[in-house]
Structure 1
Amino acid sequence: MKIAVCDDDKVAREHIVSLVKEQIKDAEIMTFATGEEMLKAQNNFDISFLDVEMREISGMDVANHIRQKEQGNTKSIIIFVTGYEKYMNQAFDVSAFHYLLKPIDEEKFRNVFGRALNELYAAEERTKRYILVRNSGTQQKVYIKDIYYIESANKKVIIHTRTGILDSYGKMDEWEQMTGSGFYRCHRCYLVNMEQIVSYNADTIKVVNGDKLILAQKKYNDFIRQYMKYAKDGGIVNV
């Protein structure tokens, strides 16, 4: 596991490193005194602890750069550790995992870092999950993370994935059970992978590939509840 600590205050950097080492002994930890140093390292970190106000390149700029570099739905964890509350709203724009204020509350840090580790482990497990799809007379392995959504049309089930479209059969209720809690039945004809959602409104859900799915009016409130629960439980959120 690779962890970055970027802060122009040496004492703060050392404090964060010591707290990290309390919970995970074998992590590869790199420290940086400026945002520029961290970007020059060109490393892909699993978790980044970022101060916000630093010389030249701010922690928010570093976070934006990290997000722009990331491919598909693979998202590292960003935790801001700063003395300023005023940047909290901007942290949501880069899908920050948490926003910790200085001076660091050590108990809160341990709790947040522990949850971040749990999310990483859960994300790793999600990448291994797959279903078997009968397509053109053969069984094909399809990884859950690669499915955008599943559609029922003309007595067929159409699986829209990152690698293409597959035709299969079965009832949507059965597909709902197979895919599990990371999917939501937003309409009788659509089952969406919540990991792939990029935006939504009262009647439409848009997924990563640009397709727009119908969100049944009567399901809107339930969708919001389920999506918030999914996010709280550590699901990948792109909205």
Structure 2
Amino acid sequence: MRVLIVDDEPLARARLAALLSECDEITVAGSIGDGEAALVALSELQPDLLLLDINMPGLDGIALARRLAGQPRPQIVFCTAYEHYAVHAFDLGAIDYLLKPVRIERLRDALQRARQRLASTPREHTRYLGGRQRGEQVRIALDEVIYLLAEEKYVVVQHRGGQLLLEESLRQLEEAYPEQLIRLHRNCLVPPQRLLGLKTLTDGRVLARLGGTDLTPEVSRRNLPALRKLLRMG
């Protein structure tokens, strides 16, 4: 089972990694210090389980769990020094809630619950986009997509491995993948998990900050309320 540790305290991450090394059939997929970086890394690292701190600067553990709700996601075990978030955590679908300092016996119990949940949960079928890349017909998984831009006759898909050209229109793609793609502007779609924030310029224009790229595409006034609501909901 692949486990991703997300905690802003280096010592806490090191302790969890050490405890996990004493558990059978566990691979530490990564150790990350903030929620936004974890959100970006999920599609690349593909963990089965998040060991997730709650009280972190920026995107905290509760907000990260909310952001992942309603889509395929790893199992979540919260690891925190605070008892009073427990009810909220279980409402978000956490399979366990461990208080720091985490004890090896409780960690093993949580890992066993995660294994049982994974065994009983049907695997989500990966969805793909097919197009041309460097003259070849290829396909990429939707969870590798960073953004899609309409350019002349084609849609350019920027993904972790490069660019892909599609002949479908943005409207066709938006209708085909309503849960996996959201519109920023008439010429741009992005996966919801890539949207990290919005920046308002002095001239009133709003730019989107996306995980996995330095590009900051403009957001249309028509789509701005829905994007702000998405960010508020986590």
Q: TM-score range by the shorter chain?
A: 0.5 to 0.7
- How large is the Cα RMSD of the aligned pairs? 4.5
Residue type of the partner of 1:125?
E
Whether 1:201 and 2:179 are equivalent positions in the alignment is no
| 2-structure distance, mates of 1:96, 1:151 | 27
Residue type of the partner of 1:77?
L
Q: Pick from 153, 156, 162: which aligns with 1:155? A: 153
Unpaired runs of 5+ in structure 1? 6-33, 47-61, 81-86, 232-239
Q: How does 1:39-50 map to 2 (within 5 A)?
A: 39-40=17-18, 44=27
Q: How many residues align?
A: 178
Residues 39 and 45 (structure 1 numbering): CA distance in 2 closer, same or farther, change over 3 Å? closer
Q: How does 1:65-76 map to 2 (within 5 A)?
A: 71=41, 73=43, 74=45
Q: Residue 131 of structure 2 aligns to a residue in which SS?
A: strand
What does residue 64 of structure 1 align with? 33
Q: Residue 182 of structure 1 aligns to a residue in which SS?
A: coil
What is the CA-CA distance between 1:37 and the residue it aligns to? Answer: 3.6
In terms of fraction of residues, the more helix-rich structure is 1
Does structure 2 retain, via aligned residues, the 8 Å contact 1:144–1:179? no
| 2-structure distance, mates of 1:183, 1:156 | 17
Q: Residue 217 of structure 2 aligns to a residue in which SS?
A: strand
Whether 1:222 and 2:191 are equivalent positions in the alignment is no
What does residue 212 of structure 1 align with? 216
Does structure 1 retain, via aligned residues, the 8 Å contact 2:34–2:60? no
Q: Residue 124 of structure 2 aligns to a residue in which SS?
A: helix
Query: Which of the pair has the greater relative contact order for Cα pairs under 8 Å at 6+ separation?
Result: 2
What's the TM-score once normalised by structure 1's chain length? 0.54
Whether 1:182 and 2:155 are equivalent positions in the alignment is no
What does residue 127 of structure 2 align with? 129
What does residue 140 of structure 1 align with? 138
What is the CA-CA distance between 1:227 and the residue it aligns to? Answer: 4.5
Unpaired runs of 5+ in structure 2? 6-11, 66-77, 98-113, 201-205
What's the TM-score once normalised by structure 2's chain length? 0.55
Identical pairs, percent = 11
Q: Pick from 82, 102, 113: which aligns with 2:83? A: 102
Deviations 1:184-213 (A, max 9, x none): 111000011222233322411122121111
| 2-structure distance, mates of 1:109, 1:102 | 10
